[in-house]
């Protein structure tokens, strides 16, 4: 299993962006088994639209090509899956 730049640098960048944006409970995991064609953000229905916009803005700084969805069955408020082509 080979570690990529995205596996080591990207999580730190996202953590920094979200922490600076005021988010407190941030958990970031990485895995090389994900081969998504573009970055995906999935929000639970309870996430406020203002918060959604801020998260989208922060993620776009790193991965501008993304897709956004909403799900009622999430165990987290937000799940972000980065594509393999994210810097």
Q: Tell me the per-residue pLDDT of 20-43, one tens digit each, with 9 for 90 and over.
A: 877 777 777 655 556 667 888 888
Collapse the DSSP code of 17 into the 3-class scheme (helix H, G, I; strand E, B; otherwise coil) and give the result: helix
Q: For the whole prediction, is pTM greater than 0.75?
A: no
pLDDT band at 3 (very low <50, low <70, confident <90, very high): very low
Q: Tell me the per-residue pLDDT of 38-67, one tens digit each, with 9 for 90 and over.
A: 888 888 888 889 888 988 988 888 888 889
Whole-number Cα distances in Å, 43 to 7, 10, 24, 46: 22, 20, 17, 8
Q: What local confidence, expressed as pLDDT, does residue 5 receive?
A: 44
DSSP string, 22-60: T---------TT---SSEEEEEETTS-HHHHHHHHHHHH
The answer to whether 4 touches 37, Cβ cutoff 8 Å, is: no
């Amino acid at each position: 299993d080979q570690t990529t730049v995205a596996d080591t640098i990207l999580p730190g960048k996202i953590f920094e962006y979200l922490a600076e944006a005021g988010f407190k409970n941030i958990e970031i995991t990485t895995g090389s088994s994900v081969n998504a064609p573009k970055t995906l953000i999935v929000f639970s229905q309870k996430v406020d639209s203002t918060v959604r916009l801020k998260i989208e803005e922060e993620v776009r700084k790193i991965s501008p090509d993304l897709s956004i969805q909403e799900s009622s069955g999430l165990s987290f408020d937000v799940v972000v899956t980065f594509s393999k082509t994210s810097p």
